[in-house]
Structure 1
Amino acid sequence: MLRGFGAFLLVAATAAVFGPASSVFGPAQAAEPARVVGAYYPGGSVDRYPVERIPADKVTHLFYAFAQIRDGRCVAGEAADAHFAALAKLKREHPRLRTLISIGGWSAGGFSDAALTAKSRKRLVASCLALFFQRHRGSFDGIDIDWEYPVYGGPPELPARPQDRSNMTALVREFRRALDALGRERKQTYLVTAALPAGRMQSAGAYDPARSFELDALGKLLDFINLMTYDMGTTFSPVASFNAPLRAVESDPLAPELRRWNNVEGAVDYYLQQGVPASKLVLGVPFYGRGYRVTSDAGDGLYQPYSGTFPAGDYRDIKRKLLGDPQWRQHWDPVAQTPWLFHPKERAFVSYEDPKSIAIRARFARERDLLGVFTWELTADDEQGSLLEAMAGE
């Protein structure tokens, strides 16, 4: 996910063979919840937002972000031992909470090489199981894959190959095989999920997820897909636009064939057309804003050219710094079903979500019979947890 820049310093990989378990697995696993209320939790935020503060009574699935790949093996941050021990404690206190280790993030390399052959895939998967399910046994219930992106569309400096598309499927299949085998041994169910993108403007221009992923196959292999229905308005976009519009806005200057998919509803429809069942889709909602310095005040900044970015920050920052300042004019788009802010003097435009728009998206997920909702990311909420409350309450 494009917000994954904060991954912390990594240390050397563990051995790819199982050693002694570092903790005893807890009580019998609770039944899988019927609806997902998921949240990514960046390990780099632990000092400001400790694991103990995670609202495990509201979140059903927590994704720890991020582990990465080095020399073909899974590695974790230098403070990971303490974080993972805290997660295990949280899980013992909240047996219904499901925790997954998310591997990757924007700018994370290593996937293309690690997924290239059957041997390299087995090596990667074995190292992940050794680290997260043996050394840190009791901390995680599954693996979440966040490869941004196979084939094309990711950071231009990262390796990418045409065969990445099928190799992603093969990698998921290997994780599925290995975790299913481990689950049979331990009488435990392990999850394999992935964060996958919507159609939007990316580093290579107009981006089609089906060119990166075998979506139909992944819909069958994965327990569910975290559909990243955000980052639809970024610096890859030609004009200042919404981060996560619910529906296509006719005045959006994107070409109609791209505009059709470059919104929450369109992204869901696209995945359904590609063969992914609604019951495997979890809808993404952003707890952060996107800002631009526009070159015109027409339309209160919306769909205007821009000269650079404006540091909008997370919702907690927007609420504290911008929403109480009368110089920031507040607007609402009835089609996109989302708010935005405009500062005429600064010619600054900010797209963000608030409790009203988050609740609308959570309701949309229910109405479309999706599996649930998730957010990037938990620690971006305000002190009252207003966005999570809106997301979980619908």
Structure 2
Amino acid sequence: MILRLLSLLSFGLLLTNVLSQAGCARRVVGYITSWGDVPFTDQQARLLTHLVFAFFAMDADGALTLSNKAQQRLNGILEVARRHPHLKVQFAVGGWENSQYFSKIASTQSGRANLNANIRKVIENFKFDGVDLDWEYPVTGGAVEGEEIDRQNYVQLMAELKQELKVLQESQQRADSYLISFAGAAGYWVLKPGFDLRGLLENADFVNVMSYDYFGAWQSKWGAFTGPPAPLHFAMPKKKKCRNFYVKRFSGKMNVHATIKYYACQLKDTYKINMGVPFYGRFWHNVGEAVAPGDDMWRTAKPIEGDNKFEGGDVQWRQIGGRFEMSRTRFHEGSKTPFIWMPENATFVGYEDANSLSYKIHYIKERNIGGVMIWAIDFDDEKLSLLQAATGGEICTSPFKKEFPYKCSPVDDQRWWTFEDKPEHAGMCGRSAPLYNDYYPVCDPDDPGHACCGKYGYCGSGPEFCGCASCVDYGADPSLILKEPIRPERKVTWYTLASGEGRRGRCGPMAPHLDGGPATCNPDDPSAKCCSNGGYCGSTKEHCECQGCVDFSKTPDYHWKPVEWWTFAENSNHIGKCGPGAPVLPSGKTPKCDPDSNAPCCSQSGYCGNGALYCECQGCVDFKKTPNWEWRRQVVTVVSSSPSPNAPYG
């Protein structure tokens, strides 16, 4: 009796699963490889809403073919799939190793027509429900370089494919339209130039975002940083010390959240997005010390023979336990991913497990994402541990929310410095930073590692960048990008953060001259709007309210009078010397003392200062009282060639 009850309970749970997936509120898309030998099962079919067979090979003329082994595998897969009417079955074209012909084919009307006609034939022959295009990648290329026109041609290819399949649907009097999806890149540097997401998804039903492979042991001139293939959140350490604080040297977009947010903000919608998850891990050998103390996740691998190549690879989930010690797994809370570190043989493994998948499914539910995509279901173990985890967490039963879950940049153009623009300016922000395309640079609100502008004028994250009184958190409120002034109203006559030591933050006649004249302070910068009488920009009382100080926010057009005294710009060795006995200025004039400084008087001995010895003696000159004083051109006997022990120099 007990066994019968258990059997009925098991059947009930199974039936519930079948019904929930059949009427799932989100997509559960599983890729299955054409070269694999793990069979497709009824249990997998029940847990999926969409199955994608990857790949049909594409030839230079757009012909689509399968090897004998791949065709036999496809026949077995379709036999199982057709027992599950709810399951939509597509086939994929392209991939990393077979995208080399996309650019040429998509560049002409005849090439596009030929490929689309062949896609139609495959759908008819195998009774597929649609196709998945995996162009890796338009414009930037993957294994093969692309062309700039690829971005536009991809949209055109997709639009013509949609029309081709619509004609097929009508000719068959099919109730459901044929599905079109495409694989989307994870990296912003690939997405921005190559993918017109809005244009593509006007014609495609959904995008399978390849939100993985952020870290791997592939050839790279930047070096190999260990990490998980798909960190959910940015959690990389601080590295580089700049002045008296640390900045983050790692991109904040090397994570799933940043990628999915980019798609959402481009589309202003989340329903057509499927988050990709990897059923595999990546490993490195020859791994060195941790980048930051106390965090064993992030390390650098040593290249092989100095050729920017690294020793490592990928490992399917079903194989990880047989190759590495799973008992040594640790969970990285920041990125929500597991890893294994084996110092005795300098090996690191980052991967996905049921725990990390649970966080991703929760993210999908909370952020209204359209579904989950799996690469690849045949990498799972015999118990389907990862597929069970990826289809749990109420992914099918939780309702969609009405509100859009992201705060996006209010501008389409870029207004922040990156390493791709100019490495030495990367991360600089605020109104004392060098202008970016004539704008005061801000921080990228979509980069969780660098969304805040700190008080020292650098982008970063954490309290020192986001929590101070003068900090600006563009991630929390992207509308701050448009807070006026967004660009200067006048020519830049101040030194910026990029000006280098000795110039950065300097101003006035005593500072090195800028474009032939004294440097000012930026009137738009509330933290550095005033020039002190010592020649430094700032905003304190000592910078703005002292004798000789200039507040450029109040007098933006202030110009210093022509310099008639020695400054650092002319010769630092002569600072404070005055009168006929002092070295003449480059202009040929006898040097005076600055009437607006704290040393306005020239003493009888030829030094600037204040007090009775400098201002009230016989032969002394007080330039505050007589700013237009000119010495007669005559030989003057200098009482002493050495300064008084108490003589100031400025």
Q: Normalised by the size of structure 2, how large is the TM-score?
A: 0.51
Query: 1:273 aligned to 259, 262, 265, which one?
Result: 265
Partner of 1:284: 276
Amino acid paired to 1:320 = G
Partner of 1:300: 296
Task: Give SS of 2:391's match.
Answer: helix
Deviations, residues 146-194 of structure 1 (Å, cap 9, x unaligned): 0000111411xx2521111111111111111111221222213210000
Matches for 1:16-27 after TM superposition, within 5 Å: none
CA distance in 2, matches of 1:258, 1:209: 19
CA distance in 2, matches of 1:128, 1:360: 37
Displacement after TM superposition at 1:129 (Å): 1.0
Partner of 1:141: 129
Query: Using a 3 Å threshold, how does the CA distance of structure 1 residues 54 and 211 change in structure 2: closer, same or farther?
Result: farther
CA distance in 2, matches of 1:215, 1:49: 34
Structure 1 or 2: more helix by fraction = 1
Amino acid paired to 1:370 = I
Query: 1:74 aligned to 38, 60, 63, which one?
Result: 63
Structure 1 or 2: more strand by fraction = 1
Task: Give SS of 1:192's match.
Answer: strand
Query: Using a 3 Å threshold, how does the CA distance of structure 1 residues 300 and 388 change in structure 2: closer, same or farther?
Result: same
Amino acid paired to 1:61 = H
Query: Using a 3 Å threshold, how does the CA distance of structure 1 residues 260 and 70 change in structure 2: closer, same or farther?
Result: same
Q: Normalised by the size of structure 1, how large is the TM-score?
A: 0.83
Displacement after TM superposition at 1:77 (Å): 1.8
Partner of 2:178: 190
1:314 and 2:316 are equivalent in the alignment: yes
Matches for 1:1-394 after TM superposition, within 5 Å: 33-45=24-36, 48-52=37-41, 55-79=44-68, 80-108=70-98, 109-130=100-121, 132-136=122-126, 138=127, 140-155=128-143, 158-186=144-172, 187=174, 188-199=176-187, 207-234=189-216, 235=218, 236=220, 238=223, 239-251=225-237, 259-275=251-267, 277-298=269-290, 299-300=295-296, 302-307=298-303, 308-324=310-326, 329-394=328-393
Greater than 4 Å deviation, 4+ residue runs: 30-33, 252-258
User: For structure 1, which runs of at least 5 residues remain unmatched after alignment?
Assistant: 1-29, 201-206
Query: Using a 3 Å threshold, how does the CA distance of structure 1 residues 257 and 344 change in structure 2: closer, same or farther?
Result: closer
Q: Whose Rg is larger?
A: 2
Partner of 1:25: none
Displacement after TM superposition at 1:312 (Å): 4.6
How many pairs are equivalent? 349
Check conservation: 2:22, 2:87, Cα contact below 8 A.
Answer: no
Deviations, residues 20-50 of structure 1 (Å, cap 9, x unaligned): xxxxxxxxxx9885311111100101xx312
Check conservation: 1:216, 1:276, Cα contact below 8 A.
Answer: no
Query: Using a 3 Å threshold, how does the CA distance of structure 1 residues 107 and 257 change in structure 2: closer, same or farther?
Result: farther
CA distance in 1, matches of 2:276, 2:249: 22
CA distance in 2, matches of 1:260, 1:253: 13
Considering Cα pairs closer than 8 Å and 6+ residues apart, tell me whether 1 or 2 has the greater RCO: 1
Deviates more, 1:372-381 or 1:54-63: 54-63
CA distance in 2, matches of 1:365, 1:257: 29
Check conservation: 1:66, 1:76, Cα contact below 8 A.
Answer: no
Partner of 1:7: none
Amino acid paired to 2:32 = Y
Deviations, residues 298-357 of structure 1 (Å, cap 9, x unaligned): 343623233323345111111233244x5xx32211110001101111101111011000
Check conservation: 1:104, 1:148, Cα contact below 8 A.
Answer: yes
Partner of 1:12: none
User: For structure 2, which runs of at least 5 residues remain unmatched after alignment?
Assistant: 1-20, 241-246, 304-309, 394-650
Displacement after TM superposition at 1:241 (Å): 2.2
CA distance in 2, matches of 1:217, 1:252: 38
Task: Give SS of 2:212's match.
Answer: coil
